[in-house]
Amino acid sequence: MLKYMRIPSTAGTRDPERSRFFHRLWAVVRYLLPLTALILLVALLTAGLQRDPRLVPSPFIDNPAPGFDLPQLRDPARRINTQDLKGTATLVNVWASWCAACRDEHSLLLDLARTSGLRIIGLNYKDEREQALAWLQRLGDPYETIAYDGDGRAAIEWGVYGVPESFLVDAGGVIRLKHVGPLTPEVVESELLPRLRETDPRPANGAE
């Protein structure tokens, strides 16, 4: 079927030698195209295998959290802004009801909210309000407050690539940790909680 493809245009050259050369070259190259596609795909998959999702550098680490001022998800009449983050260490979690990976980390967030005493604030990203609320009703709601970022503008300020992402913001409103992708128990144990203890010497759990 590839024979119905046209030979690359050599219009303007009108050199028969040259056109024959391209003709021959194309005759060889076109059968190698599927193989080339495979090589590209494999390169991609290999890179994907070796990547550690936690190693995404962020210029936001140790800088004050970017400004935002958004309506709340549960009650559009009320608003939430950067100032509300201050006072206690907070986990800002970017999520959406259409995001499959968010479902994976959700039970972990519920556990965190219940056991660690860490305040969790949601940033609902490019979502429909009703769907987001229905999602929370179905799966449980770990968030103290949720900012509704329907057009994703605040997420741009925060340098969000995709959902889910989580930021640890200390009591002074400075970002201490950024995690791209769903949170896992290992990430919480080896990164989030140690960093939380560093930045916030008070025991996170009142019972400790």
Partner 1 sequence: MIPELGHFALILALVIATLQFALPLAGAQLVRVRWMALARPAAGAQCLFSALAFGCLIASFIGNDFSVVYVANNSNTELPLPYRIAAVWGAHEGSLLLWSLILSVWMVAVARFSHAMPLAFVARVLAVMGIINVGFLSFMILTSNPFARQFPAAAEGRDLNPLLQDPGLVMHPPMLYMGYVGFSVAFSFAIAALIGGRLDAPWARWSRPWTLMAWIFLTVGIALGSWWAYYELGWGGWWFWDPVENASFMPWLLGTALIHSLAVTDKRDAFKRWTCLLAICAFSLSLLGTFLVRSGVLTSVHAFATDPERGVYILGILVLTVGGSLLLYAVRAPRIVDTGRFNPFSREGLLLINNCVLLVAAAAVLLGTLYPLALDALGLGKISVGPPYFNTVFVPLMLLLGLALGLGPLTRWKSHGGRELANRLRPVAFACATAAMSAAIVLGQGKMIFTFLGLFVATWVLLSTALAVRERWAHQHTLKGMMRALSPGFSGMALAHLGFALTLVGVTVTSLYGAERDVKLAIGETAELGGYRFRMERLRSVAGPNYDATEARIVALREEVVVAELYPQKRIYRVQTSPMTEAAIDAGFTRDLYVALGEPVGKEAWSVRLQVKPCVRWIWLGAMVMALGGILAASDRRYRFGLRPAPVRLDGATDPAA
Give dist(CA 176, CA 187) in Å, integer.
14
By beta-carbon proximity to partner 1, the closer residue of 7 and 13 is: 7
Single-letter amino acid, residue 80: I
Q: How many helices and strands, by DSSP H and E, does the chain display?
A: 6, 7
Instruction: Show the binding pattern over residues 43-82: x = contacts partner 1 (CB under 8 A), - = does not.
Output: -xxxxxxxx-x--x--------------------------
By beta-carbon proximity to partner 1, the closer residue of 45 and 61 is: 45
Give dist(CA 194, CA 180) in Å, integer.
18
Contact flag: residue 163 with partner 1 (CB under 8 A): yes
Q: Is-contact 169 118, C-beta < 8 A?
A: no
By beta-carbon proximity to partner 1, the closer residue of 101 and 193 is: 101
Q: Is-contact 204 118, C-beta < 8 A?
A: yes
Please, what is the minimum distance in Å from the beta carbon of residue 46 to partner 1?
7
The two tokens of residue 136 are 């929370």
Please, what is the minimum distance in Å from the beta carbon of residue 117 to partner 1?
22
Give dist(CA 61, CA 177) in Å, integer.
6
Site for partner 1 in 71-130 (CB under 8 A): 96, 98-104
Report the interface residues with partner 1, using CB under 8 A.
1-3, 27-28, 31-32, 34-35, 38-39, 41-42, 44-51, 53, 56, 96, 98-104, 133-134, 137-138, 140, 161-163, 165, 180-182
